[in-house]
Amino acid sequence: MLGLTSRACTCSHAIASYALALVLHTCPHNPTLLSTALDLCLAYRLQHEARAVLHAFLELAIRPHPTAGHSCALAHPASSEFLVDLRAACAVQHPTMDNHTFVSILLDVLDESPREHREAWASKAVARLARGLRSSDSCGAYVALCSGLARHITISDSSKPQSKKRKCREVDEEQDSRLQGRLARWVKHILAHLYSHTQGPSSGQGDLKGEFRNILDFLLHVKPFALHVHQDGTTPAGSALASSLASLATYCLASPMVNNSHPEDIAALRSILQAARLVSETYEPLASIIFASPSQSLSDPDGSPTTPADTPTPPPSSPHAPPMQVLTSLTTSLRARALPHAEAALWSSALRHLDTLSLTMPRTAPAAHDTDALRACIAEEVDAAEARCFSRPRRRSESLKAQRRGPARAQEREQEQEGEDDEWEWEEMVGTWVRKRPAQQQHRLAKRRRVLQSEAEVIGDVEAGRVLRSHARKSEPAPRRVQRCSSQTNMAGALGRRAGLGAPRARSPESPLKSRVPSVRSRTPDEDGGRTEGEQEEEANAALHAQYRVFNFTSLLADAQTNCTVLHPHRGARHSFPGSFAHARQRTEAGPDGNVDAEEPQHTSCSARLPPRPKSRLRYGARRGWTCAQELSSEDALNLFALSSPAVAR
């Protein structure tokens, strides 16, 4: 009886399979026919036929329709629960049709035409499916869906046509940004799932090893896509995706379970962190998970928060001891892996996240004092990590060359070059570590310093012969200036003849005073033998700064008094001082002998040519009834001291 029953079942399954294949080959595909055929396959436990019908059904739902308002039926707002309901129906009626099988069939359909299926990836139905997979503890299917999205982003970006229309480019960039942001949130949920299982007290080691292997395979799968590399022109969504991938790779590399992996996988994780741009914002996803409060849970990528039943409440503990312990263990592992940049970036991200929390947390809160104490501890760790990262030995290549005796291998040369390029130094002006200048650039700076030093010597010689206005002699009458000018001219000619004969140049007694500027001269190699390079550089800088004159108040006041220009001098006194306007007019009218009819002297180029006295002012003053002693000494109407007398005679 059992044999006849099995034969009858086999015959009925064969008949159902043959009839189903005939109907699918003959009739056109429509949603009603495919839905009925899928139910029939699930009822008769036809696994192969069920996968074929499900593939055709999903292809019909994702296929773009030119006449419809949306490019595919899956992107319609009414189809937001389509994938979730279809997955539940397949899992209930057919036990072998699990979540991983359903996701693999969906990815095969989406990978057939990545360019046309972009809206399907960005639809709400795929987001709801991802949320259902995450809540059902199906880490393998969820990670596989993330791998498919990462692959789609890379392939669609490489095969994107260069559209000349600006509107089309903006639409494509917006869709790419949405997909990158969605993948960044999915990767952050993977990190939160792994963190909750590894840090929780009741975590199954068997299931945890399988999930860790799936996550490690995901990182190795997306590594060739270079989504973790921050390039120029990267959108904020792309930067968030790179930060999420770097955080997940760091946590996996610092986890103790990575020791059971293959050495090539560990090297691949190290290469991910070495290629990533590690800054203080890189580990923000990891820091937000570590410092999350027990009642705080990650929000859904579509904006709907998860229920408290989905996220179990951790046991009560100290609010800050577990985060500090986790950070210490992670940074210690990174230091053992020879990743100092990752260690410093992780501490900096933790400090940055605490600063953000301290700004939003009220000062009267009970945890405010603990947050300040924790921030002080992390600040010390940041300084220590940056010192270990940036203050490495300057000549690492020289120590390596001294240790080996044979020819250098290619790998050692690459390590030496890397060590020389990653030298840093502390900059006091900005209070941070900056990249050290290469040796070639330092040579150029030294050459420029020598050029500036030679120019400073020339400037010092020019400054030494400059006549200061404070050292100028008082003005003398015209005949005396003529005689003195001729005497200086004769002395200059005599000095020139002596210099031409090779005699040492003598200083003229009438030469102006030299400015007290220290001369800058270059030292000989013998003199610099006992000095270090830093002392010589400081001495050169001090000499360069010493070439500028330092004026005091007395010299400035003397220069201003000597070179002031009086527009209207006082004429109250009948007998003016020598060199004034009236005295010059009297000498011009009377001549050198005192006679009025004498001829005017012949002025040389050194004498001052005096302008004639304006007569219009005298005529104007005569009409107004003013005397010569009552003329204004300033044209400013608000100058109360313009007159020598307290009142103006009218």
Closest to 154 measured CA to CA, from 229, 64, 222: 222
Q: Residue 367 has what pLDDT?
A: 67
Write b or e for each residue in 222-235: b if 16 or more Cβ atoms lie within 10 A of its Cβ, otherwise e.
bbebebbebeeeee
Q: Token pair 């949405």 is at which residue?
A: 178
The encoded tokens of residue 195 equal 């963190």
Closest to 338 measured CA to CA, from 304, 302, 389: 389
Give the separation between CA 35 and CA 94, rounded to whole angstroms.
15
Helix then strand count (H, E) for the chain reads 24, 2
Beta partners for 434?
425
Alpha carbon distances (Å) from 464 to 467, 512, 517, 540: 9, 10, 7, 20
The three-class DSSP label of residue 433 is strand
Closest to 104 measured CA to CA, from 76, 53, 74, 143: 143
The encoded tokens of residue 69 equal 């308002």
Sequence-distant (≥ 6) Cβ neighbours of residue 560 within 8 angstroms: none
Give the separation between CA 531 and CA 533, rounded to whole angstroms.
7
> 526: which DSSP letter?
T
Query: For residues 568 and 633, is the Cβ–Cβ distance under 8 A?
Result: yes
Q: Residue 303 has what pLDDT?
A: 43
Give the separation between CA 173 and CA 156, rounded to whole angstroms.
11
Alpha carbon distances (Å) from 277 to 226, 271, 273: 12, 12, 8
Alpha carbon distances (Å) from 225 to 59, 130, 229: 26, 22, 9
**Interior angle at CA 237, CA 232 and CA 238, nearest 5:** 40
| Residues in the chain where the model's pLDDT stays below 50 | 1-9, 294-321, 393-421, 462-482, 485-489, 491-522, 524-526, 546-549, 573-582, 584, 587-610, 615-629, 645-650
Q: DSSP readout, 169-193? A: HHHHHHHHHHHHHHHHHHHHHHHHH
Closest to 474 measured CA to CA, from 385, 371, 578: 578
Give the separation between CA 371 and CA 357, rounded to whole angstroms.
8
> 572: which DSSP letter?
-
Beta partners for 643?
none
Alpha carbon distances (Å) from 406 to 416, 417, 446: 16, 18, 35
Write b or e for each residue in 42-81: b if 16 or more Cβ atoms lie within 10 A of its Cβ, otherwise e.
bebebeebbbbbbebbbbbbbbeeeeeeebbbbbbeebbe
Alpha carbon distances (Å) from 336 to 273, 330, 332: 14, 10, 6
Strands (E), 383-531: 424-427, 432-435
At 570, which amino acid appears?
H
Give the separation between CA 38 and CA 424, rounded to whole angstroms.
65
Q: Residue 20 has what pLDDT?
A: 80
Give the separation between CA 91 and CA 101, rounded to whole angstroms.
10
Query: For residues 495 and 506, is the Cβ–Cβ distance under 8 A?
Result: yes
Give the separation between CA 342 and CA 99, rounded to whole angstroms.
36
Give the separation between CA 127 and CA 304, rounded to whole angstroms.
11
For the segment 437-490, what is each residue's pLDDT rounded down to a tens digit?
666 566 666 777 777 777 666 555 544 444 444 444 444 444 444 455 444 445
> 257: which DSSP letter?
G
Query: For residues 376 and 324, is the Cβ–Cβ distance under 8 A?
Result: no
The CA radius of gyration of the chain, in Å to the nearest whole number, is 46
Element (H, E) at 218: helix 205-222
Give the separation between CA 392 and CA 369, rounded to whole angstroms.
36
The three-class DSSP label of residue 299 is strand
CA atoms 225, 229, 234, 238: torsion sign: positive
Q: For the beta carbon of residue 236, count every other beta carbon within 10 angstroms.
A: 11
